[in-house]
């Protein structure tokens, strides 16, 4: 046991990061194809916009804005295509090859993304370990695995993944300044601003981690203004592909801030019950994080009651900042949707908070108990996680196998045809209609507002008949909905 424990302490940051990477790999099969993402935007949304950059076009999906992932995808796809071009004699055009073999391109991209995040995880945990007790910081690092269900979100091709990557790197530099009680060098400060610009260009929700700057010593108004000035410059650099569409991104932000419902698009008035239900859903979604918060407050109360002189009491500041962010941001997010996944970007604050908890209660655990606790936790949790992932994968496969090819695809159903159809018209400016028509000429769709079955370009193919059936997804029940088309449009007048 002693040798095993010493090995873990010595390589804890590597072990935790490797296990995290392995957990992410279990999620990759669950995602399957680029269009199989129940309840979330499909990866193909970013795939197609990356192709637009390669084709010299302006990306059409600029809301989030997500340009970092689009640029990364463009560079990676060009590299993969160049290799395939050398290996195969008869190869289609760039856009057609990516669409036809999207699983190959997307799987490579996902693997690189989760590797980036695992490496960032390693350096973040290493920074904590350099400044705190190796034994106790190794125990607190295990909270990364405890919070690992958020791995589901970072295994996707989305701006969200790069926002999480940026938040880890951001907290790494903040932690270095915070624990060493020193200000960052000029190069480090510029790098911090570059990370912030990268994070905001990936997804605006990255802004939630910015208050962690309060942990840094000697942070004054002048430094804060300088930080935002540099961040703005880097944000512009990372969003250059959409420079002619900045107004749309700004309008989207204003719409979210002012409006209600999903992305502020609802015309309904403010609904207190809707907000309350969403707020409860968010808190349930971050229940693991709230457990760390509860333990942290228990530690603070313990130190007050027993007048325990904890030299690491300053670590509780990260807990207070996390709670402040959660209290302020939760109602804002809940006004629109129950999106607890948005709070993934602030999870690094909880790693520091867990260190505070461990340092506070360490005297109640003898050294041998600590060893058994951490190793037992890693083994048990990893086993349960794998078991849960396998069950989720089986359920996903069963769900997909119920799809019949003779059904007409309806809106909201995530198979390859319907997802490409929706993404092409809604998020890619219909740029890929010709390519899709060429690759899959027999595909036909029903949009729900016409008496015609249409092709990729929305051109009528034929009138619907009573024998036609459509398949689409009912996400509220996580089930497939099959119905006769004629019953849905019987009162729609002929065009």
- Shared domain check, 140 and 257: yes
Q: Report d(CA 381, CA 143) in Å as an integer.
A: 11
Can you give the pLDDT at residue 262? 66
Does 495 reside within a domain? Answer: no
Read off the pLDDT of each residue in 156-184 and give the average, rounded to a whole number: 91
Query: What percent of the chain has a predicted confidence (pLDDT) above 70?
Result: 73
Domain end (from 339, 363, 395): 395
Residue 258 lies in a domain: yes
Out of 395, 428, 448, a domain closes at: 395
CA-CA distance, 381 to 16, in Å (whole number)? Answer: 12
CA distances from 50 to 75, 119, 230, 235, 252 (A): 8, 24, 26, 18, 21
Nearest to 139 by CA among 129, 127, 131: 129
**Which range of residues forms the domain containing residue 55?**
2-395
Task: For residue 145, give the nearest of 21, 291, 30, 31 by alpha carbon.
Answer: 21
Give the strand pairing for 408-410 and 469-474. Answer: parallel
Question: Both 207 and 175 in a single domain?
Answer: yes
Consecutive H or E run containing 461: strand 460-463
Asked whether the predicted pLDDT for residue 93 surpasses 60, the reply is: yes
- The answer to whether residue 47 is domain-embedded is yes
For residue 97, the model assigns a pLDDT of: 94
What local confidence, expressed as pLDDT, does residue 131 receive?
85
How many other CB atoms are found less than 10 A from the CB of residue 306? Answer: 8
Specify whether 62 is located in the same domain as 95. Answer: yes
Same domain flag for 252 and 132: yes
Quick check: is 493 in a domain?
no
Give the model's pLDDT for residue 239.
Answer: 95
- Identify whether residues 385 and 426 lie together within a single domain: no
pLDDT for residue 492 is more than 50:
no
Task: Return the pLDDT at 237.
Answer: 96
Residue 401 lies in a domain: no
State whether 333 and 476 are in the same domain. Answer: no
To the nearest 10°, report the CA torsion of 236, 237, 242, 245. 20
Strand partners, 470: 408, 483
pLDDT for 211 equals: 94
pLDDT at 103: 86
pLDDT in tens, 427-483: 888 899 999 999 989 888 876 666 778 888 888 887 776 666 666 655 444 455 555
Residue range 376-388, pLDDT digits in tens:
766 776 676 667 6
Which of 218-222, 357-361, 426-430 is predicted least confidently?
Answer: 357-361
Whether residue 433 sits in one domain with residue 307: no
Rounded mean pLDDT, 191-196: 96
Q: How many CA atoms lie within 13 A of 124 on its CB side?
A: 28
- Percentage of the chain beyond pLDDT 90 is 27
Same domain, 199 and 269: yes
Residue 454 bridge partners (DSSP): 445, 460
pLDDT score for 17? 86
494 within domain boundaries? no
More confident call, 242 vs 290: 242
- pLDDT of 119 above 80: yes
Contact present, 192 and 227 (Cβ < 8 Å)? yes
* pLDDT at 248 exceeding the cut of 90: no
Q: Which residues touch 279 (CB under 8 Å, ≥6 apart)?
A: 330, 331, 334, 338
Q: Is residue 402 part of a domain?
A: no
Using CA atoms, how far residue 283 sits from 148, 291, 321, 327, in Å, is 17, 11, 17, 10
**Token pair of 446, please?**
């029903």
Task: Count other C-beta atoms under 10 Å from residue 188's C-beta.
Answer: 13
HEC string of 58-79?
Answer: CCCCCCCCCHHHHHHHHHHHHH
Q: Are 93 and 21 in contact (CB under 8 A)?
A: no
Q: Same structural domain for residues 222 and 341?
A: yes
Q: Is residue 400 part of a domain?
A: no
267 and 380: one domain?
A: yes
Please indicate, yes or no, whether residues 421 and 483 belong to a single structural domain of this protein: yes
- Of 371, 395, 419, the last residue of a domain is 395
Clarify whether residues 19 and 136 are in a common domain.
Answer: yes
Residue (of 303, 343, 288, 317) closest to 215 by Cα position:
317
Mean pLDDT of 47-70: 91
Count how many domains the chain has.
Answer: 2
Q: Report yes or no on whether pTM surpasses 0.75.
A: yes
**Do you find a cis peptide bond into 65, omega within 30 degrees of 0?**
yes
In Å, what is the CA distance from 249 to each residue of 60, 176, 244? 11, 33, 10
34 pLDDT band, cuts 50/70/90, is: low
pLDDT band at 188 (very low <50, low <70, confident <90, very high): very high
Q: What is the pLDDT of residues 201-220, one digit of tens each?
A: 999 999 999 999 999 987 88
Q: Residue 489 — pLDDT band, cuts 50, 70, 90?
A: very low
């Amino acid at each position: 046991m002693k040798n095993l424990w010493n090995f873990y302490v010595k390589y804890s940051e590597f072990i935790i990061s490797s296990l995290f990477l392995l957990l992410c790999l279990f999620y990759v099969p669950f995602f399957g194809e680029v269009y199989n993402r129940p309840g979330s935007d499909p990866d193909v949304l970013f795939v197609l916009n990356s192709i637009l950059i390669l084709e010299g076009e302006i990306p059409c999906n600029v809301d989030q804005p997500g340009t970092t992932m689009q640029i990364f995808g463009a560079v990676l796809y060009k590299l993969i295509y160049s290799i395939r071009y050398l290996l195969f004699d008869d190869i289609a055009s760039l856009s057609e090859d990516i669409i036809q073999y999207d699983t190959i391109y997307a799987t490579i991209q996902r693997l690189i993304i989760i590797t980036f995040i695992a490496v960032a995880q390693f350096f973040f945990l290493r920074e904590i370990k350099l400044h705190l007790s190796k034994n106790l910081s190794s125990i607190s690092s295990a909270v990364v695995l405890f919070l690992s269900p958020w791995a589901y979100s970072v295994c996707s091709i989305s701006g969200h993944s790069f926002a999480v990557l940026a938040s880890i790197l951001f907290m790494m530099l903040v932690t270095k300044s915070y624990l060493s009680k020193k200000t960052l060098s000029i190069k480090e400060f510029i790098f911090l601003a570059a990370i912030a610009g990268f994070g905001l260009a990936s997804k605006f929700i990255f802004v939630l981690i910015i208050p962690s700057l309060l942990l840094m010593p000697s942070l004054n108004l002048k430094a804060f203004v300088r930080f935002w000035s540099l961040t703005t410059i880097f944000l512009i650099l990372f969003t250059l592909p959409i420079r002619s569409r900045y107004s749309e991104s700004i309008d989207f932000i204003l719409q979210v801030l002012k409006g209600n419902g999903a992305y502020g698009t609802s015309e309904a008035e403010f609904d207190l019950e809707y907000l309350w239900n969403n707020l409860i859903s968010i808190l349930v979604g971050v229940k693991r994080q709230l457990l760390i918060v509860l333990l942290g407050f228990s530690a603070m109360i313990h130190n007050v009651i027993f007048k325990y002189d904890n030299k690491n009491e300053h670590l509780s500041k990260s807990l207070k900042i996390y709670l402040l962010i959660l209290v302020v941001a939760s109602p804002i997010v809940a006004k629109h949707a129950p999106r607890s996944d948005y709070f993934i970007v602030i999870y690094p604050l909880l790693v520091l908070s867990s260190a505070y908890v461990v340092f506070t209660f360490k005297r109640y655990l003898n050294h041998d108990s600590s060893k058994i606790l951490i190793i037992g936790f890693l083994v048990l949790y990893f086993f349960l996680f794998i078991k849960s992932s396998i069950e989720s994968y089986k359920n996903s496969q069963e769900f997909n196998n119920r799809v019949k090819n003779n059904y007409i695809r309806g809106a909201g159903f995530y198979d390859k045809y319907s997802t490409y159809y929706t993404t092409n018209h809604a998020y890619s400016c219909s740029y890929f209609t010709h390519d899709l028509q060429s690759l899959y000429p027999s595909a036909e769709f029903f949009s729900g507002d016409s008496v015609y079955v249409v092709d990729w370009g929305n051109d009528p193919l034929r009138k619907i008949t009573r024998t036609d059936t459509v398949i689409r997804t009912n996400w509220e029940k996580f089930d497939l909905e099959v119905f006769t088309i004629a019953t849905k449009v019987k009162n729609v007048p002929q065009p």
